Structure 1
Amino acid sequence: MRIAIIGANAPDSMEWHFADAFQFAGYEAKIFDIYEKFPYTVKRLKHYFQVLDKIGRTYSDSYDRKRFLSVANSINEYNPDLVICFYRDIHPAFVDAVKSKNRRVIHVNPDALTSFGYQQVIAANYDALFTKDPYILEFMKNKAKLNAYIYNEAFNQRYNPKPACTKAEMEKEMNVDVMTYGTLYPYRARMVRALVDEGINVKLYGVVPHRFFDKALEKCYTGKYIVGEEKARTIYGAKIMFNNFHFAEIESVNCRFFEANGCGAFQLCDYKPILKDLLPVDPELVSFKTIDEGAEKVRYYLAHPEERYAIAEKVYQHFLEHYTYDHLIQYILKTVETL
């Protein structure tokens, strides 16, 4: 089977992990990135060209259509059996241009509902839509009458492998009480600030936004953007990985939830009812409903390392058996077979 993936061809992107899993399973898979050709290949100017392109696609339908029809031509030349789209702003004309009798075109939405833009995902004639949020699934199926399916996100055990040493040994090496990572948006920073104000030692990894960053957290910021084995070691080596979900994760969790558990971390996250379906332990043990409860549980587990180790190992084994990208692509392929 030949598979075309439409999205960002960048290490650690969901598209990249899908391609890795397909290739590992013996399929031919190629990522088509709208920014893989000149002038976007000029590294020092890429960002500026992307901004101009985004403005053009936002305000000019003809330009937007032209951009994606160009990608459609490349797809048709590649002649895949299956097209999997990840960009949320793909012009609907693209879908019509690449669909054929023997070729399915599906969309996997890796983000929360705030990323829907001009709702291109809903306007396009996809053969199937995959969403991680039961709230969005209910709307798509029962109101918009779309052919939608639920899916759970995943982790890549080849790219982010759990370290071979014990968690206690890695914690001693890292010497980090609490960590979190990703773009340090205000919603994340506010909650981390509450922990810091309680006297909890927090380390921050990722990207500082160019606006509205809380200066009180500068002392916590490491200046590191972690990927691959370094990400796995950092997450595993922290005593607690603190994961506060975006407020638009209505009934879903984020990719970080799967990555952390897949690295063998001990994770504390926002409570969501879906946790009971995802975890092999009582969700109340590893989640919080208020930030005060979160701080209380941080202090408790810092003082009870053996409980951390036991929970982290049980969760890791469960996720290794159920939530790798290898599992996810097989679920996608089996669903596509029924279309």
Structure 2
Amino acid sequence: MRVLILNADYPRFVAWLYQRNPELAGAPYAAQMAARNASLFGVADFYSRNFAAAGHVATDIHVNNPWMQAAWAREHGFAVEQPPAPGSDAPRQAIPNWLQRGIAPFKPVLRPLARKVGLSPRLDAEAEKILLAQIEEFRPDLVLNQDVFHVDTRLARRIKGIGHPILIGQVGIVPSRGEDWSAYDLMISQLFQVVRTFRNAGVRSEVLHLAFEPDILDVLPPAPERSIDISFVGAVSADHQQRVAQLEAVARTYDLKLYGSGLQTLPASSPLHRCYQGEVWGVEMYQVLRASRVTLNSHIDMAGREAGNMRLFEATGVGSFLLTDAKDNLPSLFEPGREVAVWTSVEDCLSEIKAALDDEDRRQAIARAGQARTMAQHTYRQRVQTLLRLAAELPARR
């Protein structure tokens, strides 16, 4: 089977990658893909390498990377202009934080309108043309679309028309209202509330959790010393109000190191400003986790009572002690108190941090057990096996 994985990267990550490698934007497509994968950011090539290990032909496309896509187009005879140098685009006007907080609960309803007026990410006509040409050339039997915003339902139907591949979408947030998802044979998500939304819309949907790639451990630099008492890597925004409250309480008591985005959305009085260490991506992010005695986790507000974000698997996968928020389904992923530590309130979080910092043996035991659980049950190899089983169970393609 020929498997194609579609993905999109955070623009800030793409700018970071190309600004630190000034010659990369003009390099051949294969060289740009190799550099992107070597960064280890996000899922990198973890799905495609495990599909290949299972005996399939698999490849990735990063649909919103203009330099990589332009390189492919030139190499295949398309007349395209070289995109502007990374970082040269004028930054968009930030939405005021008070407005972000106000609209956060209504995002599933507002996304279609935002797309119509150009406020939601989407591919332009040339980017769509290049992507469709790539699909025509590769002729996949299965397409895993991990970005249902850039590759929207309209474009998904066009992809479906190229050889009629099995089309699987992966999404971790409640989908936009009013969309026609019928082009998809299957939608997967780490959150059951998302799965339920798709099922209610008449689309087959299943829970499939995120994962860790064990090969990361073979290519990371040597593990650093545990020089960071407490770290958090991730975003702080209007969508993470519980997280912000937790982190601010930790920052008032402990030497928290904060890495991520969204700090500009917080008031100047927030103690998180003095904790901020900048953004870290891929390899650097893993090294921060490995250097931390305690690394914190808090899910996005819309996750509700469900656990499943990437930090669960990244932190445990590299052998870090993870202190995460209690969720109803967490025991199905990790055993609380043995494989991960758990907090139920801000006060409880502060107590758990103190207990962890005071007891190195317990901290290390939990970190080892968490890593063992991830290696046994939460790798991309297992997720690919599940995807192949789900694909085999789908009705015959029309």
TM tier relative to shorter chain: 0.7 to 0.9
Aligned counterparts, 1:137-176, within 5 A: 137-141=195-199, 143-159=200-216, 173-176=225-228
In structure 2, C-alpha distance between the alignment counterparts of 1:75 and 1:157, rounded to whole Å = 29
Listed one character per residue, the Cα deviations across residues 295-335 of structure 1 (whole Å, up to 9, x for unaligned) are: 11111111111111111101101111111112212211221
Q: CA RMSD in A?
A: 3.3
In structure 1, C-alpha distance between the alignment counterparts of 2:259 and 2:3, rounded to whole Å = 34
In structure 2, C-alpha distance between the alignment counterparts of 1:162 and 1:300, rounded to whole Å = 33
Structure 2 residue 105 is matched with structure 1 residue 75:
no
Question: Is the CA contact (8 Å cut-off) linking 2:343 and 2:349 kept in structure 1?
Answer: yes
Listed one character per residue, the Cα deviations across residues 14-34 of structure 1 (whole Å, up to 9, x for unaligned) are: 364323433455533131414
> Counterpart of 1:29?
59
For structure 1, list consecutive stretches of 5 or more residues without a partner in the other structure. Answer: none
C-alpha deviation, 1:79, in angstroms? 1.0
Question: For residues 91 and 264 of structure 1, do their structure 2 counterparts lie closer, same or farther at Cα, with a shift above 3 Å needed?
Answer: same
Report the AA paired with residue 83 of structure 1: V
Report the AA paired with residue 98 of structure 1: I
> Counterpart of 1:13?
42
Question: Is the CA contact (8 Å cut-off) linking 1:163 and 1:236 kept in structure 2?
Answer: no
Question: Is the CA contact (8 Å cut-off) linking 1:4 and 1:32 kept in structure 2?
Answer: no
Listed one character per residue, the Cα deviations across residues 147-174 of structure 1 (whole Å, up to 9, x for unaligned) are: 10110110122235697989xxx5xx23
Question: For residues 129 and 317 of structure 1, do their structure 2 counterparts lie closer, same or farther at Cα, with a shift above 3 Å needed?
Answer: same
> Counterpart of 1:183?
235
Listed one character per residue, the Cα deviations across residues 185-231 of structure 1 (whole Å, up to 9, x for unaligned) are: 3533332110122x212111223443325552232122351422x33
User: Matched residue of 2:4: which SS?
Assistant: strand
User: Matched residue of 2:264: which SS?
Assistant: coil
Question: Is the CA contact (8 Å cut-off) linking 1:276 and 1:282 kept in structure 2?
Answer: no
Sequence identity percentage: 19
C-alpha deviation, 1:237, in angstroms? 2.4
Aligned pair partner of 2:300 in 242, 246, 255: 246
Question: Is the CA contact (8 Å cut-off) linking 1:65 and 1:91 kept in structure 2?
Answer: no
Question: Is the CA contact (8 Å cut-off) linking 1:58 and 1:64 kept in structure 2?
Answer: no
Question: Is the CA contact (8 Å cut-off) linking 1:8 and 1:15 kept in structure 2?
Answer: no
Aligned counterparts, 1:1-339, within 5 A: 1-8=1-8, 11=39, 12-14=41-43, 16-23=45-52, 25=54, 27-36=57-66, 37=70, 38=81, 40=83, 42-45=85-88, 58-59=116-117, 66=125, 70=129, 71-89=131-149, 90-99=151-160, 103-109=165-171, 111-113=172-174, 116-117=175-176, 120=179, 123-141=181-199, 143-159=200-216, 173-185=225-237, 187=241, 188-197=243-252, 199-212=253-266, 214=268, 215-228=270-283, 230-250=284-304, 251-282=306-337, 286-339=341-394
For structure 2, list consecutive stretches of 5 or more residues without a partner in the other structure. Answer: 10-35, 71-80, 95-111
Q: Normalising to structure 1: TM-score of the pair?
A: 0.82
In structure 2, C-alpha distance between the alignment counterparts of 1:162 and 1:180, rounded to whole Å = 23
Question: Is the CA contact (8 Å cut-off) linking 1:64 and 1:91 kept in structure 2?
Answer: no
In structure 2, C-alpha distance between the alignment counterparts of 1:315 and 1:284, rounded to whole Å = 4
Question: Is the CA contact (8 Å cut-off) linking 2:132 and 2:159 kept in structure 1?
Answer: yes
Listed one character per residue, the Cα deviations across residues 72-99 of structure 1 (whole Å, up to 9, x for unaligned) are: 3431232111111111223323222222
Question: For residues 227 and 125 of structure 1, do their structure 2 counterparts lie closer, same or farther at Cα, with a shift above 3 Å needed?
Answer: same
In structure 1, C-alpha distance between the alignment counterparts of 2:141 and 2:116, rounded to whole Å = 30
Question: Is the CA contact (8 Å cut-off) linking 1:189 and 1:213 kept in structure 2?
Answer: no
User: Matched residue of 1:31: which SS?
Assistant: strand
Report the AA paired with residue 335 of structure 1: L
In structure 1, C-alpha distance between the alignment counterparts of 2:168 and 2:6, rounded to whole Å = 10
Question: For residues 274 and 147 of structure 1, do their structure 2 counterparts lie closer, same or farther at Cα, with a shift above 3 Å needed?
Answer: same
Question: Is the CA contact (8 Å cut-off) linking 2:181 and 2:203 kept in structure 1?
Answer: no
Question: Is the CA contact (8 Å cut-off) linking 2:251 and 2:271 kept in structure 1?
Answer: no
